[in-house]
Amino acid sequence: MNFFLLKPIATALIVGFFSLATYADTAPQSGDSFEKVCINAWMEKTDLAKDKVDYKNFGEKYCSCVAKQPLNDDASVQKAMQLCMSRTLLHDAMDSLADEIGLSKAQDSDVMNHCQDRWNLIYPNLSDADKQKTIAYCDCAKPKLMALIKQSDNMTDKQYDEGIDGIAADCSSSALVNKPTSTTSAPAKTAN
């Protein structure tokens, strides 16, 4: 996977969530938890979502994940956002796949479709160029998720979740899970 091809995605999400990084420095003074502010900011973009309930659920999972990460400085906040976007995206895609098709019946194309569906949930108006970048992310995850599915019957729920987290870390380390560059439907930002 070409890091330079996907670098614009990483850059855009980091910039898009810069205000969350700023919040990390000021959170103790406001009285609201980071998670609450993150969820409120996420929900500011609900009107762009086709499925508002799934969008809200995704945002809650994402913000919960970010809030559990070390948020000591801008770099750690950006790293947490990137990792948690990847984790949330893959967990949500796999949960949806398990509910709709069943893991034992899942094919490569199903994994790919559910991964892309999660991208479309959070970024409904992607340009063709940005769609190619999200496809590259899903291509990174697909073979690893299929291997995990094949082993899932012999795993505990915790091991399965950790497997998804590992795949998310592998794919996010390639700077993949970040806001596409040319869309106006970015996930919510907090107000400064």
**What spatial distance separates the first Cα and last Cα of the chain, rounded to whole Å?**
36
For helices 108-122 and 52-67, the axis angle rounded to 10 degrees is 90
Per residue in 144-183, pLDDT (tens digit) is: 999 999 999 999 999 999 999 999 999 987 544 455 454 4
Burial class of residue 11, CB neighbours in 10 A (0-12, 13-18, 19+): middle
Decide if 74 is inside a domain. Answer: yes
pLDDT tens across the length of the chain (192 residues): 444 444 444 444 433 444 444 444 444 445 678 899 999 999 998 888 889 999 999 999 999 999 999 999 999 999 999 999 999 999 999 999 999 999 999 999 999 999 999 999 998 888 888 888 889 999 999 999 999 999 999 999 999 999 999 999 999 875 444 554 544 344 444 333
Give the count of domains, the chain: 1
Decide if 82 is inside a domain. Answer: yes
Decide if 135 is inside a domain. Answer: yes
Decide if 184 is inside a domain. Answer: no
Of 138, 145, 130, the closest CA to residue 172 belongs to 138
Decide if 117 is inside a domain. Answer: yes
Decide if 18 is inside a domain. Answer: yes
Rounded to whole angstroms, how far apart are CA atoms 49 and 27?
28
Rounded to whole angstroms, how far apart are CA atoms 93 and 140?
14
Domain extent for 155: 3-172
Decide if 186 is inside a domain. Answer: no
Considering only CA atoms, give the Rg of the chain.
16
Decide if 177 is inside a domain. Answer: no
Q: Do 17 and 46 touch, CB atoms closer than 8 A?
A: no
Predicted model pTM = 0.76
Return the HEC string of 115-145: HHHHHHHHCCCCCHHHHHHHHHHHHHHHHHH
